[in-house]
Every structure is written in C-alpha cells, then in structure tokens.
Amino acid sequence: MLPSLIPLGLVALLGATAAVAQECTLDKKCPEDKPCCSQYNQCGTGAFCLGGCDPRMSFSIDSCVPSPVCKDAELKMDSLDRYRHISEFLGDPDEADWVGQGDPIIFKGSTLLTMPKGSVGTVLASTRHMWYGNVKAKVKTSRGAGVVTAFILFGDVKDEIDFEWVGTDLSTVQTNFYFQGIPNYANSENITKLSNTYDNWHEYEIRWTPEKIEWLVDGAVGRTVLKSSTFNKTSNQFEFPQTPTRVQLSIWPGGLASNAQGTIDWAGGPIDWDSDEIKKYGYYFASFKDVSIECYKTNSPPGTNKGISYWYNDIRATNDTVVDGKKPTILKSFEGTGTDMDKGSPSGTGNGGAHASNVPGGIVNNPGNQVPGGVVNPGPGNGGGSSSGTGSGSAPPCKATGFSQTCPDETGATNNQNNGVRGAERTLGASAFAVVIGFAGLLFL
C-alpha cells in the first residue's frame, strides 16, 4: 500500500494566469517570431522547439531543434535525479533521461505518476528519440472510471505506437498505432486476460522495425502488425509509424467533464474526484519501473543512430526524409529556435529564462514566472517528489492550454472543450497525456 503522507501539493497544473499561445496546424503554420509548433499544436520559441516540435506545422522545416539520436538505456526509475521539468531543460540528453510535467514521485523503487484531484495528471517523455527498436517497461496501472494510463511511442510528426489502459478494465491493455496522427480506429486491438493490472506488475514491450510492430506482455507476443498491411491505395502511402519517436509515460483524465462524450465513454465514464483512491491517497496513480530502450541496429537508414541528432529534409516527414547527422541539440536559452540556437542569455538569467512565450504545457518551476496556459509550479517545498510531506489533494482551477486540455474546478466543471482528446473523437496532435497527450498544460515539450 502507499503511504498516506506522499506529498499532494506539487500538482502539475496549479494556479491560473492567462497566456494563450497561437495554435498551429498543417494549414496554419507558426509565424516567424514564434516559429515552432509544439506537440500540443501551439507556437512559440524555446521549449516549443524541442522534443515534440512538428516541422510540418512550424514556420519552416528547420525551425525545430534537431532531436538527440537513440542510445541504449536501462532506466530503473528509482530516482528523479535524471528527470527535469520542462522549464529546466534546454535539450541536453546527457543532463536528463526524462523531461515532463506534473507530479512524479518515487515510492519503493519505482516512479509513481500521480493525478491529484482537479489536475490533468503527469507525463514523462524521454529526452532522446528512438528510430525503430525495442522498448519495454514494468507497469502497474491506475484504476477507476475515467482514469487512463499510457506507455507509448510518440513522434514529432505524430507517428505513434501505444499501450493504454482504461481504469475500469484491469484485465485488458489496448494497443494502437497512428501514421502522422491520421485517425484510423480500425488500428486498435486489445490484449486481454491479464491478471489485475493495478495490483500486479506486468512487463509491456514494443518491438518496432521498418517492417513490423509487435506488442508483448510478459514476454509473449499479443499482437503483430506488418507494414505491408497498412498500404493506403488512395494516398499511395504506407500508413505505418516510421519516424523517430520519444518514449512517453503518463496518467491522464479521459473522463473529465470537459472532454468529448466519445472520449468519456471510451475512458470508462466520468472521473470521480471523490473516489476511495482520492480519499485514501489524494490522487490517482500509475507505477513504472525498469524501462529498457534498445535502439535499432542497422548500418544504413532507415533506423540508424550514428550521429548526434535527427532532423527532416522534406516536409513529407517519412522515413526517407529523416537525416541522422551532427547538428547540435542544445539551446543556449529559452529564446532560441532551430534557426538561432544561440539566441538569448543563459537560462535563468536576463531574458533567457523560461517564461510565457517559450515553455509549452503551462508551468515553470519558479513562482512568479508565466508560461503558456498561465500555470505556475510552486517549486521545492511542496512535495518536490520526495516521499514525505502533506498536501490538500485538490488543485485550484487552471486554464492550461498547452497540453490541449483544460483543468476543471473542484466540482469538475469547465467551460472549455478539450482540443486534444483521445478515443473516438481523437484529433490530430492529441495523444500521450500523447498524452493529456494524452493533456493540457503538461509537457512534453
């Protein structure tokens, strides 16, 4: 059981001061002064230009910062030393393994992703991209109506491979894949007859090559999709994930009242912010440990990892347009972009630190700073991921828009529509908390 004193106060989306970023789509690219289209389809500089930046929707194809190439890793998830909040990360993968938002905490050798009352959960994303390969993780899922756990691969151009769990069905994991975010609900398939996914650790694995995807549970293949089966004669295109992706882990509220009804139904119904789980612990949670990333091994593209970074040389954004090269990945400040990576003073001084125009997802780590969506993280002293302390378990209303989802008030009410829902009414760019990318105000990134 979890200790009742795990901190509740450090919520991903606290406070509410407004700052709304310009939205970006394939038909409406970002302006030159805010050239980068983030994972959450908002324009900006700095962190908007890092992982998740979509070159197809940005001002130019080189507006996004090149992405760090794959590197084999064994991540125990028993410490937050290699985790950075999005407002603290400028693109150096040697500094951190994970970047994210929300309230991750350590408990008994694993990382808990928490979702306190009135929040939109927690999301972590790997700081390196994986261009094919194998990734596995041990997971104990969340539970409860409207509560969704996710372990996915998500690319800058919205290629995606998913494991997802709905909290009302603890014997099933849902699998899915998308090519460039194009909805195709025939791509979904369940793996069933699992022992209770909340009480028991299971190992989930995605094996991804240029020719097929396999989803495994506890070492057994539960589903296989061949690239050859995904050809679309109309578009003359294989609708198969094929570009570099980040590993994303999340918990998010599919059952928020502000979500589309199709999403609420898919997530098992409306979320209950007064459930036994909330009363006992102060939050919903999912547990992750032993994440293993094995890069694809090949001497020629697609799928290499010989250089420093990945970037695109054509707006088609297919695997033959990915470059594995030596461009740098680290911004000098949050004013920088892919075309001017040295712009601004060092982070935290002058005007180069994180503020409203250059951190997508809605929060920074220092009180007083503003970010898109207008959320301020109270910083150390209110939990900070330690295993002691107390909190209210109830987040104030928030209006973070960077994660494509708004926060409700304490009753669950909100006047804003979720622009990035998953499930039956999923839209382009919505996944992991895409997830709340599955989510509003979190990353990414």
Q: Which 8-state DSSP code applies to residue 340?
A: B
CATH numeric code, 36-425: 2.60.120.200
Structure confidence at residue 278 (pLDDT): 96
Q: Are 162 and 177 in contact (CB under 8 A)?
A: yes
* Contact partners, residue 262, CB within 8 Å, separation at least 6: 421, 423, 424, 425
**Token digits of residue 330:** 């680290």
Distance CA 159, CA 141 (A): 24
Rounded to whole angstroms, the Cα distance separating 346 from 334 reads 8
What is the rounded distance in angstroms from the CA atom of residue 138 to the CA atom of residue 163?
A: 12
Name the nearest CA neighbour of 114 among 283, 279, 363, 289.
Answer: 283
Q: 314: Cβ–Cβ under 8 A, 6 or more apart, which residues?
A: 61, 321
Q: Which residues are catalytic?
A: 160, 164
Question: Residue 404 is which amino acid?
Answer: S
- Phi/psi of residue 43, nearest 5 degrees: -95, 145
Q: Would the pTM count as exceeding 0.85?
A: no
| Cα 70 from Cα 68, distance rounded (Å) | 7
CA-nearest of 128, 146, 127, 149 to 137 is: 149
- Beta carbons of 348 and 364 less than 8 angstroms apart: no
Of 348, 387, 344, 391, give the one whose Cα is nearest residue 366.
Answer: 348
Q: How far apart are CA 60 and CA 29, in angstroms?
A: 8
> Residue written as tokens 């994210």?
100
What letter represents residue 429's amino acid? G
What's the rounded Cα separation, in Å, for the pair 51 and 266?
28
Q: Which of 123, 95, 147 has its CA nearest to residue 278?
A: 147
CB within 8 Å of 18: residues ≥ 6 apart: 374, 399
User: What pLDDT is stored for residue 371 in this prediction?
Assistant: 23
Per domain, the residue ranges of the chain are: 36-425
Instruction: Confirm if 115 and 253 have CB atoms less than 8 A apart.
Output: yes
Question: Residue 118: what pLDDT?
Answer: 94
Name residues whose C-beta falls within 8 Å of residue 65's C-beta, 6 or more positions apart in sequence. 49, 50, 53, 91, 329, 331, 336, 337, 338, 341
- Candidates 65, 49, 54; CA nearest to 25 is 54
Q: What is the pLDDT of residue 238?
A: 97
| AA identity, residue 77 | M
Residue pair 380/85 in contact by the 8 Å Cβ criterion: no
Of 106, 187, 191, 146, the closest CA to residue 385 belongs to 106
Reduced to 3 states, what is the DSSP secondary structure of residue 310?
A: strand
What are residue 263's phi and psi, to 5 degrees?
Answer: -70, -45
Token pair listed for 9: 């106060």
End-to-end, the C-alpha distance of the chain in Å comes to 33
**Whole-number pLDDT of residue 185:** 83
Q: Which residues contact 425 (CB under 8 A, 6 or more apart)?
A: 260, 261, 262, 263
Q: What is the pLDDT along the chain (445 residues), one digit of tens a residue?
A: 433 322 222 222 222 223 467 999 999 999 999 999 999 999 999 999 999 999 999 999 999 999 999 999 999 999 999 999 999 999 999 999 999 999 999 999 999 999 999 999 999 999 999 999 999 999 999 999 999 999 999 999 999 999 999 999 999 999 999 999 999 989 999 999 999 999 999 999 999 999 999 999 999 999 999 999 999 999 999 999 999 999 999 999 999 999 999 999 999 999 999 999 999 999 999 999 999 999 999 999 999 999 999 999 999 999 999 999 999 999 999 999 999 999 996 544 444 565 545 666 544 443 222 222 223 232 322 232 222 222 223 333 323 333 322 333 334 443 332 222 233 333 323 343 333 333 344 443 4
